Amino acid sequence: MPKNFVSNKDETVRMFENDFLEALSRVHFTVPLYIYIPVICYFLYKSVADFYLTAGSIFSLIIVGILVWSITEYTLHRFIFHFPFRSEFGKRIHFIFHGVHHDYPSDSRRLVMPPSVSVPLAILFYFLFYLILGNILVTPFFVGFLTGYLFYDMTHYAVHHFNIRNKLWLALKKHHIRHHFENSELGFGVSSPLWDEIIGTNFPKKEGSENNYLKTSKHNNIN
């Protein structure tokens, strides 16, 4: 078990003295759904009503967007969230963005990305893809990208707090739990182990010490 693990209870530590900043750092897991499902519907509507894209084109670009999200998820998690900061300031930034989750992995209010972070990132990514794809193709592509992001957020919450029995979801759960409790330098994919397999950061094909967590956390008890 990683040395920085503190508690698997639904609890956390205060990160900011300022009450407003502290409130921004915690969010109910349904908030991303309320924010991004309307955005997804808007871009899907524009794809059909404004740009008259065919169903095949829309579907293909959505799939590409989901795939691009998956590599974005992997890249952010591996190279940003686990960047080996040396300075005290860098370590503080790392703790705020990701370290607190490894210390308190069952804190239900810090399992999805807060809008104070996700909204600016979404805007940044949109304009990046706009420059690459143009204003027409970016609309269905961004539908896929945001759908992939929502699947990631909901998967992350589910693997920490839902009593999962479905084989596919259970495989995702075990993959992520091993990242927390066996080796945090492996298993960076949360919504999919695809890029871990391709890049070579997946776990050995055996049962790992995720059982320590599955046995001790009441939120993750699997019979």
pLDDT, mean of residues 88-104: 86
Binning pLDDT at 50, 70 and 90, where does residue 90 land? confident
pLDDT at 68 over 70: yes
Residue with tokens 């639904």: 10
pLDDT at 72 over 50: yes
Predicted confidence (pLDDT) per residue in 33-46, tens digit? 999 999 999 999 99
The pLDDT assigned to 142 comes to 98
Report the range out of 86-90, 100-104, 108-112, 186-190 with the highest average pLDDT.
186-190
User: What 3-state class would DSSP assign to 192?
Assistant: coil
Domain boundaries, the chain: 19-163
Q: Is residue 176 a contact partner of residue 190, using CB atoms and an 8 Å limit?
A: yes
DSSP conformation letters of 55-106: HHHHHHHHHHHHHHHHHHHHHIIIIITT----SHHHHHHHIIIIIHHHHSTT
Query: What is the overall mean pLDDT for the chain?
Result: 88
pLDDT, mean of residues 117-134: 97
pLDDT at 182 over 60: yes
pLDDT, mean of residues 121-126: 98
The pLDDT assigned to 135 comes to 95
Least confident of 53-67, 81-95, 197-211: 197-211
pLDDT, mean of residues 19-45: 94
pLDDT, mean of residues 124-136: 97
The Cα–Cα gap between 84 and 79 comes to 9
The pLDDT assigned to 5 comes to 64
Binning pLDDT at 50, 70 and 90, where does residue 216 land? very low
Residues 6+ apart with CB under 8 A from 198: none
DSSP 36: H
The pLDDT assigned to 202 comes to 95
